[in-house]
Amino acid sequence: MIEFENVSLNWDDRIIFRDLSFSVKPGEKVALVGESGSGKSTLLNLIPGFIPHFRGKIVVDGLILNATNVHAIRQKLAYVPQALQFTVFPTVKSLFFTPFSFVYNRKLKPDRKVVRMLFERFELSTDLLNRSVKEISGGQKQRILLAGALLLKRPVLLLDEPTSALNKEIKQAVADYILGLKDVTVIAATHDEYWMKKSDKILEIKNLHG
Amino acid sequence: MKGAVDIAWWMLASGYLLMFIPLAIFRYYRSGLEKATVWAVIRMTVQLLLVGLYLEYIFKWDSPLINFTWVFVMTIVASYTVIKRTGLRLRMFFVPVLLSTLASIVLIDYYFLGFVIGLKNIFTARYFIPITGMLLGNSLKNVIIALDSFFRRIDDEQITYRWELANGATRSEALLPFMRFALKKAFNPLIATTAIMGLISLPGMMTGQILGGSDPMVAVKYQIMILVVIFSSTSLNVWLTIIFSERVAFDGFDNLRREIFSGHR
Ligand SMILES: Nc1ncnc2c1ncn2[C@@H]1O[C@H](COP(=O)(O)OP(=O)(O)O)[C@@H](O)[C@H]1O
Ligand SMILES: [Mg+2]
């Protein structure tokens, strides 16, 4: 589903990845682990083409990552970054529903019942939708983004520290749910022991730049 | 009707005494503003005197070509000023900003002078130059705010922008919240001042026209039109500037180029 062939990346003069190669099978659940600053978020950002200056080859579902294919590749993904920011959206509702306003996702727009069910599963109240984005906690924002990503029904999920702001019980519920999705390939940067245990494969990123 | 009383040159000089008030205050509080203030007033004086001199000739010749050239030069200066103030890179943004400014003043001038005022020749110096000057001067601030808040916010909220792209947005879909944000930033103040116009402030142009001997009602009608014209040309300018700038500001993967900010190496 996803292949990295001899991928190298520098930020300025610092080497982040050198000849990194690995592949992820369809439906596989991969936990990206490594110290803080080792390049987990950077690796996730490479896949949707956010860091085009890498060397080597990245292939997603048979498509080589380049300027021509990047849109088709992005359409196979759902991506949840760390839940900072997002304050350009006035309300939680506008944040949550924004992806469903994109032409490509319009048919996926969930009705009220589906939203309520998914929110319940993630222990969120639908009253949150009327709040301002600045007024909700990092953990709430994160679960809202996760819920939205799941509704996009993409074959590949890229998650950056998906449970970092959650307390223990919710952490497990979220991990069980997402890692239990058959046919969905999940690549998640994580420090969460439970998430690692439940994943099929652990990919450790070594700190190359000291 | 005759024009305002001319101000004798020596009286003008005595008017400058008023500047001792701000200078004394700045001095007393050691604000360090004195030098900049003096410099600003000197520049303002020299520039306006030059403009007065220029305009005397431009009005005398009243040649469409010269008038247009004059406006073109003003547009270049305006575009330069806008970009310098935003901290965006001049080399990348000059053409988009210049084109959108030109397009918006040409369109609005054409409609306003040619149709609303009904001039046979819209390049008539007495109308074309001051009106265009007002349009340019008044849209500067808004274009600066809009451009700056648009690109800076995308940079600050890069995570949000990427989140949208990686979840199925086209570039323009992903930019929509930022466009909304920039429009609000740029236009909220203008909407507010428009709404209280005449209550607590008399706009400069109307005041000038009345001093110049116009009937107040004529001055008011011009002022109303000017405010409408400024509003619409500003919106056109802001919108076109952002649209045209998008073409230079993103790479083939729709990522914001970091090199657009002039501080960036
Ligand atoms: N835009 C950038 N420019 C330069 N260096 C960066 C940039 N983004 C990340 N880095 C550097 O790359 C390294 C890896 O960062 P990151 O991928 O965020 O690590 P992790 O997610 O594993 O904590 C860090 O040393 C970080 O400082
Ligand atoms: Mg990280």
Closest CA to A188 of A161, A207, A152: A161
d(CA A136, CA A142): 10
Question: B265: pLDDT confidence band, cut at 50, 70 and 90?
Answer: low
pTM equals 0.87
Q: What is the CATH number of the domain that holds A141?
A: 3.40.50.300
Q: With an 8 Å Cβ cutoff, is A12 touching chain B? A: no
**What are the φ/ψ torsions at residue B34 (nearest 5 degrees)?**
-60, -50
* B3: pLDDT strictly greater than 70: no
Model confidence over A49-58: pLDDT tens digits?
Answer: 999 999 999 9
**Comparing B9 with A96, which gets the higher pLDDT?**
A96
* A83: pLDDT strictly greater than 80: no
* Contact check, Cβ <8 Å, B159/A152: no
Model confidence over B133-146: pLDDT tens digits?
Answer: 888 988 889 999 99
* Contact check, Cβ <8 Å, A99/B169: yes
Domain count, chain A: 1
Please compute the mean of the pLDDT values over residues B113-128 and round it to a whole number: 90
The pLDDT assigned to B212 comes to 85
Residue B131 three-state SS: helix
The pLDDT assigned to A107 comes to 92
**Prediction ipTM score:** 0.94
A36 Cβ below 6 A of ligand 1 = yes
DSSP chain A: -EEEEEEEEEETTEEEEEEEEEEE-TT-EEEEE--TTSSHHHHHHHTTTS-TT-EEEEEETTEE-STTTHHHHHTTEEEE--S---TTSSBHHHHHHGGGGSGGGGGG---HHHHHHHHHHTT--GGGGGSBGGGS-HHHHHHHHHHHHHHT--SEEEEESTTTTS-HHHHHHHHHHHHT-TT-EEEEE---HHHHHHSSEEEEPP----
Helices B125-156, B64-86: inter-axial angle, 10-degree rounding: 20
Mutation pick from B172, B253, B259 vs chain A, by most beta carbons of A within 10 Å, is B253
The chain B residue lying nearest A150, using CA atoms, is: B167
Residue A22 · residue A72 · CB < 8 Å: no
What is the percent of chain B where pLDDT is above 90?
A: 61
The pLDDT assigned to A73 comes to 97
Closest CA to ligand 1's atom 26: A37
In a domain, A21, yes or no: yes
What is the percent of chain B where pLDDT is above 70?
A: 98
A10 Cβ below 6 A of ligand 1 = no
Atom of ligand 1 nearest to the CA of A35: 22
Residue A156 · residue A77 · CB < 8 Å: yes
Show the domain range for A44. 2-204
In a domain, A210, yes or no: no
Residues in chain A closer than 8 A to B156 (CB atoms): 85
d(CA B63, CA A204): 74
In a domain, A176, yes or no: yes
Give residues 17 to 76 of A whose Cβ lies within 8 Å of B. 45, 48-50, 52, 67, 70-71, 74-75
Question: B2: pLDDT confidence band, cut at 50, 70 and 90?
Answer: low
In a domain, A209, yes or no: no
Please compute the mean of the pLDDT values over residues A199-208 and round it to a whole number: 86
DSSP state of B19: G
Closest CA to ligand 1's atom 7: A11
Question: B157: pLDDT confidence band, cut at 50, 70 and 90?
Answer: very high
Could you tell me whether strands A14-24 and A2-11 are parallel, antiparallel, or unpaired per DSSP bridges? Answer: antiparallel
Question: B228: pLDDT confidence band, cut at 50, 70 and 90?
Answer: very high
Q: Where are the alpha helices (DSSP H) in B62-170?
A: 64-86, 90-109, 125-156, 158-166
* B55: pLDDT strictly greater than 90: no
Closest CA–CA distance from residue A81 to any residue of chain B (Å): 7
* B209: pLDDT strictly greater than 60: yes
Atom of ligand 1 nearest to the CA of A34: 22
**Comparing B13 with A100, which gets the higher pLDDT?**
A100
What is the percent of chain A where pLDDT is above 90?
A: 74
The pLDDT assigned to B1 comes to 44
* B214: pLDDT strictly greater than 80: yes
Closest CA–CA distance from residue B75 to any residue of chain A (Å): 32
Residue A100 · residue A109 · CB < 8 Å: yes
Q: With an 8 Å Cβ cutoff, is A110 touching chain B? A: no
Model confidence over A14-55: pLDDT tens digits?
Answer: 899 999 999 999 999 999 999 988 999 999 999 999 999 999
A39 Cβ below 6 A of ligand 1 = yes
* Contact check, Cβ <8 Å, A77/B252: no
* Contact check, Cβ <8 Å, B162/A99: no
**CB-nearest partner of B165 from A74, A94, A101:** A74
* B200: pLDDT strictly greater than 80: no
* A210: pLDDT strictly greater than 60: no
Mutational pocket test of ligand 1: of A13, A16, A208, the residue with most ligand atoms within 8 Å of the beta carbon: A16
Model confidence over A112-158: pLDDT tens digits?
Answer: 899 999 898 888 998 999 999 999 988 899 999 999 999 999 999 99
Q: Which residues surround ligand 2, an ion (CB under 5 A)?
A: A 41
Question: B206: pLDDT confidence band, cut at 50, 70 and 90?
Answer: confident
